[in-house]
Amino acid sequence: MKMEIRKASIKDLKKVSELMIIEFSKSPFNEKPNSKNVLKSLKFYNKIGEIYIATDKKEVVGVIVFKIEQFWEGPVILIENMAVKENYRKQGIDKKLTNYLEHYAKNKKVKYIFFTTHKKSSSVKFYQKRGYKVSKETIFMRKKLK
């Protein structure tokens, strides 16, 4: 495998959306994403944030979507989404994407990286091994509007 990490282009977004739809429809997320809305979201984050992809030859096999926000502590990175194609897992792609993100953050003088994930996601153990901590101070809340 000749894997490369690079900034996603507008042309990549359709393949990225297909990857995200497949991976986030699986357990434990069980989302039912609409391809039009996923693509719209990616176009939005392409303008206000960053999208980096992992490719094997020309195939998109992983993605990380994030943005920099200004908090009281200074600039922070919020990871919006990260996904790796199922048949490419356990090959270090997730590690390479997070290493890339952490290097990017250090270059931008960012001190913290924040994200949310499903509590039953296998990514929790992955992130903990990488030094990320489950926050005891915050909870994620939501309200569905009718």
Burial label, 23 (beta-carbon count in 10 A; 0-12, 13-18, 19+): buried
Quick: pLDDT tens for 98-108.
999 999 999 99
**C-alpha Rg value of the chain to the nearest Å:** 15
The pLDDT of residue 122 is 77
**pLDDT digits (tens), the chain, 146 positions:** 688 999 999 999 999 999 999 988 887 777 787 889 999 999 999 999 999 999 998 899 999 999 999 999 899 999 999 999 989 988 989 999 999 999 999 999 998 999 888 778 777 788 888 888 888 887 777 788 88
